[in-house]
């Protein structure tokens, strides 16, 4: 029974994809398209609840083979699912939050072009994400991995007539491919070492791995995770990904897809545990990203970009948690983050919706009265992410920071604490600029401000509730319900018995930090609104650096993008011109040497003319057609290739 339910989970959205994708435009109206879409996700959610209930009751993991995909040689790959507590947490988040976002999208996307297309992509994303977290081997994980990448690409570029959207989409795709290459490499290494790709078999033999190999695999995995979870130095795509519709940002770029990297690290913690170097790297990447993204978030002016950088920063916390061995805490943070970040994005979407598409917070303000529900819910999200108890974000973030402190990672603790302060500050800055103070909207927009319909506010309320109480799943710290549930898969976090006093002190410090950030934001943006500009003017250099995101994009353009393009062009040119040119040059040179008789002179002149003509042909597009001699040159290249081959082979054979 449970096995059947497990198999059914990804099937519903898949059927919806097929139905909507193939026939949606022709056979039924938008109403049916969206009903199919959210209905299917809802059904998956119900199945998930059934499965999770069973896992809770029996405490065993389920492994189900759907069908055999690839076999031959040493390798068999099944489309098979593994549902253990770790997967359960992700399944609940993906289907639960996914369902709410689907419902919200019905209101948000109402009347947009390509309504059916949107829901087809969203459901396709659900299928991929479910495969990603449910697979029992690396191959299925990879398929899901690529699938979510593709959907993200399609959805970011949803408004494809916008140039920036198209650019952002390809950027996300390309950057993700870099991560994917690392991930694939890791899969190869795993296969070479274990001759299998199934998690259970791999982790059973993981002890045989040499430390160096474990480090290599773990670092390759990390490259993949860094790409997908937008960590330093591959973080650049995520803020740009905000070009997609807001529900997409909420679902993909906040709640689910970007946490895939964390999932992968936690899933492979057995390998990471073997390599202190890799763990250290994970923690460094996480800690640095957490702080780095938070500083950029301080000065951004686009409501969604602020949230995007906060996502990058929060993902940094999760990586930091993984890196210091606090896997449960990291998973816990993934969960609470999914709640409050989805809430924040969807509320932001509601704001944008109310303002007819305005995203610049400098043109907002004073909205608390006009859209009270959105305001209240956004505030809940802000308090939750800022880490003020007893909301969800506090418990999980505090647990990661506490773990860092208790295990003597004081540097990371410092990074995290500073990041937490900045987070609290820029989130309240966002709230103040958006909802308080005088209105800075233009008149036309102001007239049209309206609260969003129930279909949008409803899911917001559900998420708000989760953000309020979600943290208690992990209460009391280190021994909560979630910790016990995850204990079989993530290892037990608290080997150190820590005194209650220390825990309480750390909690109070964390709360203090968050309140301090709030206070500063209150001072700057509510009590003394002229101050921020003054400060910015004083520290012009820093301000501009932050505003331009440390110029990382520009750096990559100069270092990577342009050279690659040039290399391609150069090789093309090389292929067409240089090789050909060499052949010609040899000819011309030999000819000059043979000068002496009367007609040789003529040839030199002719040759010169020919070179001039050659230049012209280069300019003219059809130069190729006019070059009847080309064929001979091709033949000469073949011969030259032959010659080279002979030489090389001789060298190889003689060794």
Residues 22-41 that bind other proteins (CB under 8 A): 25
Which residue shows structure tokens 């899933």?
Answer: 267
| Binding-residue total with other proteins (CB under 8 A) | 78
- 630 near other proteins, judged by CB under 8 A: yes
Residue placing its CB nearer to other proteins in the complex, 502 or 642: 642
State how far the alpha carbon of 587 is from the alpha carbons of 454, 590, 591, 603, 633, in Å.
80, 5, 6, 11, 11
Q: How far apart are CA 165 and CA 173, in angstroms?
A: 12
Is residue 385 within 8 Å of 502, Cβ to Cβ?
no
Q: Which of 80, 169, 466, 503 binds other proteins (CB under 8 A)?
A: 169
Q: How far is the CB of 385 from other proteins (least distance, A)?
A: 33
- Angle, CA of 472, 475 and 480, to the nearest 5°: 115
- 240 near other proteins, judged by CB under 8 A: no
Take residue 93 and report the two structure tokens written for it. 């988040």
Q: How far is the CB of 654 from other proteins (least distance, A)?
A: 9
- 146 near other proteins, judged by CB under 8 A: yes
- At a CB cut-off of 8 Å and minimum separation 6, what does 268 contact? 218, 221
Nearest one of 246, 257, 341 to 302, comparing CA atoms = 246
Residue placing its CB nearer to other proteins in the complex, 168 or 288: 168
* Contact set for other proteins, span 609-628 (CB under 8 A): 610, 624-625, 628
- At a CB cut-off of 8 Å and minimum separation 6, what does 606 contact? none
Q: Which of 571, 577, 595, 612 binds other proteins (CB under 8 A)?
A: 571
Which residue shows structure tokens 């899911």?
Answer: 459
Strand residue runs (E) in 343-472:
none
Name the 3-class secondary structure at 83. strand
Q: Please, which residues bridge with residue 83 across strands?
A: 62
- 487 near other proteins, judged by CB under 8 A: no
Which of the ranges 51-59, 138-146, 340-348, 468-476 carries the binding residues for other proteins, by CB under 8 A? 138-146
Q: How many CA atoms lie within 13 A of 323 on its CB side?
A: 30
- 172 near other proteins, judged by CB under 8 A: no
Residue placing its CB nearer to other proteins in the complex, 252 or 386: 252
- Angle, CA of 578, 584 and 587, to the nearest 5°: 145
Give the per-residue contact string, 280-299, with other proteins (x = CB under 8 A; - = no). --------------------
- 641 near other proteins, judged by CB under 8 A: yes
- 228 near other proteins, judged by CB under 8 A: no
Residue placing its CB nearer to other proteins in the complex, 551 or 606: 606
Which of the ranges 88-96, 317-325, 523-531, 580-588 carries the binding residues for other proteins, by CB under 8 A? 580-588
Which of the ranges 68-76, 362-370, 522-530, 544-552 carries the binding residues for other proteins, by CB under 8 A? 68-76
Residue placing its CB nearer to other proteins in the complex, 188 or 523: 188
- 652 near other proteins, judged by CB under 8 A: yes
Residue placing its CB nearer to other proteins in the complex, 33 or 169: 169
> Would you give the DSSP letter of residue 479?
T
Q: How far apart are CA 396 and CA 114, in angstroms?
A: 39
Is residue 317 within 8 Å of 423, Cβ to Cβ?
no
Radius of gyration of the chain from Cα atoms? 29
Name the 3-class secondary structure at 198. strand
Q: How far is the CB of 278 from other proteins (least distance, A)?
A: 19
Q: How far is the CB of 590 from other proteins (least distance, A)?
A: 3
Give the per-residue contact string, 73-102, with other proteins (x = CB under 8 A; - = no). xxx---------------------------
- 594 near other proteins, judged by CB under 8 A: yes
- 357 near other proteins, judged by CB under 8 A: no
- 213 near other proteins, judged by CB under 8 A: no
Backbone phi and psi for residue 135, each to the nearest 5 degrees, phi listed first = -55, 150
């Amino acid at each position: 029974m449970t096995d059947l339910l497990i198999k059914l989970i990804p099937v519903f959205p898949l059927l919806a994809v097929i139905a909507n994708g193939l026939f949606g435009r022709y056979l039924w109206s938008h109403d049916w398209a969206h009903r199919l879409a959210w209905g299917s996700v809802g059904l998956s959610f119900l199945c998930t609840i059934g499965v999770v209930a069973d896992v809770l009751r029996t405490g065993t993991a389920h492994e189900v083979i759907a069908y055999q995909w690839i076999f031959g040689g040493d390798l068999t790959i099944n489309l098979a699912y593994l549902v253990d507590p770790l997967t359960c947490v992700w399944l609940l988040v993906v289907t639960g939050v996914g369902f709410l976002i689907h419902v919200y999208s019905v209101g948000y996307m109402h009347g947009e072009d390509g309504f059916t297309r949107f829901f087809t992509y969203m459901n396709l994303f659900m299928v991929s994400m479910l495969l990603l977290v449910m697979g029992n081997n690396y191959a299925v994980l990879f398929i899901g991995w690529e699938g979510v990448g593709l959907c993200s690409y399609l959805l970011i570029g949803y408004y494809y007539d916008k140039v920036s959207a198209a650019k952002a989409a390809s950027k996300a795709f390309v950057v993700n491919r870099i991560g994917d290459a690392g991930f694939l490499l890791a899969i190869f290494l795993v296969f070479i070492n274990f001759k299998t790709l199934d998690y259970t078999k791999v982790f059973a033999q993981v002890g045989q791995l040499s430390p160096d190999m474990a480090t290599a695999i773990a670092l390759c995995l990390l490259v993949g995770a860094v790409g997908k979870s937008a960590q330093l130095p591959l973080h650049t795509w995520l803020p740009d990904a905000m070009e997609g519709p807001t529900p997409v940002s909420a679902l993909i770029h906040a709640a689910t897809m970007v946490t895939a990297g964390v999932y992968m690290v936690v899933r492979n913690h057995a390998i990471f545990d073997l390599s202190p170097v890799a763990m250290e790297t994970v923690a460094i990447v996480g800690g640095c990203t957490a702080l780095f993204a938070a500083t950029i978030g301080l000065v951004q002016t686009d409501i969604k970009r602020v949230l995007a950088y906060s996502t990058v920063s929060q993902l940094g916390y999760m990586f930091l948690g993984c890196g210091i061995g606090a896997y449960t805490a990291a998973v816990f943070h993934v969960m609470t983050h999914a709640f409050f970040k989805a809430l924040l994005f969807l509320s932001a979407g509601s704001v944008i919706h109310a303002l007819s598409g305005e995203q610049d917070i400098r043109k907002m303000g004073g909205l608390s009265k006009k859209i009270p529900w959105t305001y209240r819910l956004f505030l809940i999200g802000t308090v939750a992410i800022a880490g003020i108890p007893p909301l969800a974000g506090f418990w999980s973030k505090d647990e990661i920071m506490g773990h860092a402190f208790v295990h003597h990672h004081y540097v990371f603790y410092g990074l995290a604490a500073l990041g937490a302060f900045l987070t609290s500050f820029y989130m309240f800055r966002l709230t103040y600029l958006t909802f308080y103070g005088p209105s800075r909207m233009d008149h036309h927009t102001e007239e049209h401000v309206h609260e969003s319909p129930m279909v949008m506010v409803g899911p917001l309320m559900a998420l708000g509730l989760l953000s309020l109480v979600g943290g208690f799943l992990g209460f009391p710290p280190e021994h909560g319900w979630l910790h016990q549930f995850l204990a079989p898969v993530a290892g037990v976090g608290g080997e150190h018995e820590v005194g209650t006093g220390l825990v309480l002190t750390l909690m109070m410090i964390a709360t203090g930090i968050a309140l301090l950030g709030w206070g500063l934001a209150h001072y700057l943006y509510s009590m003394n609104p002229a101050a921020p500009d003054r400060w910015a003017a004083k520290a012009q250099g820093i301000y501009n650096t932050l505003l331009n995101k440390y110029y990382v994009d520009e750096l990559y353009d100069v270092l990577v993008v342009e050279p690659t393009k040039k290399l391609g062009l150069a090789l093309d040119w090389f292929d067409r011109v240089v090789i050909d040119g060499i052949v010609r040059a040899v000819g011309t040179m030999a000819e000059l040497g043979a000068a002496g008789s009367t007609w040789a002179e003529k040839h030199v002149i002719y040759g010169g003319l020919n070179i001039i003509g050659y230049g012209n042909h280069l300019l003219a597009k059809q130069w190729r057609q006019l070059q009847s001699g080309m064929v001979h040159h091709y033949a000469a290249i073949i011969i030259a290739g032959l010659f080279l081959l002979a030489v090389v082979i001789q060298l190889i054979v003689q060794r």
